[in-house]
Amino acid sequence: MIVYIVVLVLMGIFFLLLRNQEKENVHVMEKVLRSLKEKKLYDKIPPELKEQYIETLHKIIKQDLELDNSIEELREYRKELEVTYNALVDKSRKLEYSNQVLETRVTNLSNINSLSRTVLSIVELDHIINIILDAYFVLTGAKKVSLYLWEEGKLINKQTRGNVNFRGEVSYPIEILQKFTYQDYKRVYEELKKGFQISPDEVIVVSPLLVKGKELGVIFIIEDKNKFIGNDEETISALTIQVAIAINNAKIYADLRVKERISQELEVASRIQKTILPKNITNIYGLQIANYFEPAKEVGGDYYDYTVKDDENVSITIADVSGKGVPAAFLMALGRSILKTLERQGQSPADNLRNLNQIIYPDITEDMFITMLHSNFNNKTKILTYSNAGHNPLIVYRAKEDKVELHSVKGVAIGFMQGYNYKQGELKLEKGDIVLYYTDGITEAENPNKELFGFERLEKVIYDNRYNDVDTIKENILNEINIFRRDYPQVDDLTFVVIKNVE
């Protein structure tokens, strides 16, 4: 029994010791696990576990370091991703803005192209200007627009849009304006710009209208500062180019229409002028007659005329009005009509010139006059009576003397002096005598060296053709002039009458 009790006590003690050992082991294990978690060395590790423990601790520390590195790399990668994302977002915004700008430009260019086609099909300048100014309001942020054009040295306001009260004007002499440079025009536009009254919130854009170096005018566009963007500036620039081209084309077309109308009118005037000149008379009262008339322009100021007065008398006249073209032709027609009326009164050539001068003088301008050689040939006496109003002398070939002479009397041009009394000369024509009436378009014909044909060449042509008829003399005069000029342009009217007494 005692033994049994002892055994039981010993067994109890053993189990108690075993339990305590287990508690101790658990406590050790907890410390081991804590040291591994904290990655700190636990120095009371049982010997049999020490090697495995240290190896495990190193692995944990290594893995932990690797994990820390991976986390750091992930953080850096995340930062890079954020930078890349932000850059993509920024580029996306910029691309979207660029796309909007591009769409706006394409739309504006399309509108400008349509506008260009529209205005280029219109020829009326005012209509073009109205369309253009409306376009500035549609295609830009314009609040007010004012368009100026150069006309005969003046910069004139043609149209405005919006509340623009200023309509200044600039004027320069044509000869000064012709010397203007681009900078000079820019200065003029900037000075004119100062006349516009704008608020502090507004801005003025100055757009010169320029085509191939030709200044047409300027457009002033007034916008709000906060609404004025780069697109507006580009659109205004592109629009201004189209505006300048359209206005230039309209002006050219208008000029062409004017020139065409003038050309048609001059063509009619030329036909009328050539119609009122006498038809070719080849022979009258024993005189062979040939004539030639070629104006330097469509119409001219030269003229010749014959008037058969009665059975014995015929008048021969040649004249040259100062200047060329339409004004000279008008004065020539006036002088011819008056002289025709005076000749009906049967007075002498000198009296006819005096009366003609009296009638024309009050109405003729200071810069215009008429030179005239007016004559009368009497078939019975064979005497040529003539009077000269500042015209070229007659070139006369004398058959008996076989020489060429100049015959004239002094007298001022018609329209120079009121109440002037003209002198008179006489010349009896023998058989074979030749008389040449001419204007200074012949003697002053030029060659490329600026030399004049002159009297001597003309006298020589007459002498060399003294045995020929008047038609041959006429052709040879023209041939010699053409040879002398060598295709140099005709600068003055060419007119002459050649007569030859064949009885």
For the stretch 145-172, pLDDT in tens is 898 999 889 999 988 888 888 888 889 9
Report the CATH architecture of 277-501.
Answer: 4-Layer Sandwich (3.60)
Nearest CA to 468 out of 428, 498, 430 is that of 498
Domains of the chain, residue spans: 122-259, 277-501
**Residue 350 host element (H or E):** helix 349-360
Contact of 289 with 277, CB cutoff 8 Å: no
| pLDDT for position 28 | 60
**Residue 262 host element (H or E):** helix 230-276
Q: What is the mean pLDDT of the chain?
A: 80
Q: How confident is the model at residue 303 (pLDDT cuts 50, 70, 90)?
A: confident
Least confident window among 11-20, 116-125, 233-242, 366-375: 11-20
Q: Looking at the chain, how many residues does it have?
A: 503
Q: CA torsion angle for 65, 68, 70, 74 (degrees, to 10)? A: -170
Least confident window among 37-41, 83-87, 234-238, 485-489: 37-41
Q: How confident is the model at residue 426 (pLDDT cuts 50, 70, 90)?
A: very high
Hey, is 360 helix, strand or coil? helix
* β partners of residue 359: none
| pLDDT for position 438 | 94
Least confident window among 260-264, 368-372, 427-431: 260-264
- Distance (Å, whole) CA 296 – CA 161: 49
- Give me the mean pLDDT over the 37-66 stretch: 70
> Does residue 277 or residue 302 have the better pLDDT?
302
**Helical segments of 121-159, H only:** 125-139
Nearest CA to 290 out of 275, 301, 279, 300 is that of 279
Q: What percent of the chain has pLDDT over 90?
A: 28
Topology annotation, domain 122-259: Beta-Lactamase (3.30.450)
pLDDT digits (tens, 9 = 90+) for 458-498: 999 999 999 999 999 999 999 999 999 887 877 778 889 99
CA R_g for the chain: 55
Position 20 pLDDT exceeds 60:
no
pLDDT digits (tens, 9 = 90+) for 315-343: 999 998 886 667 777 788 888 889 988 98
> Does residue 213 or residue 55 have the better pLDDT?
213
Q: How confident is the model at residue 107 (pLDDT cuts 50, 70, 90)?
A: low
Contact of 418 with 462, CB cutoff 8 Å: no
Q: How confident is the model at residue 293 (pLDDT cuts 50, 70, 90)?
A: confident
DSSP assignment letter at 227 = G
**Helical segments of 122-229, H only:** 125-139, 174-177, 182-193
Which residues lie closer than 8 Å to 135 by C-beta, 6 or more apart? 111, 112, 115, 239
Structure tokens at 428: 């009896």
Position 69 pLDDT exceeds 90:
no
Position 500 pLDDT exceeds 90:
yes
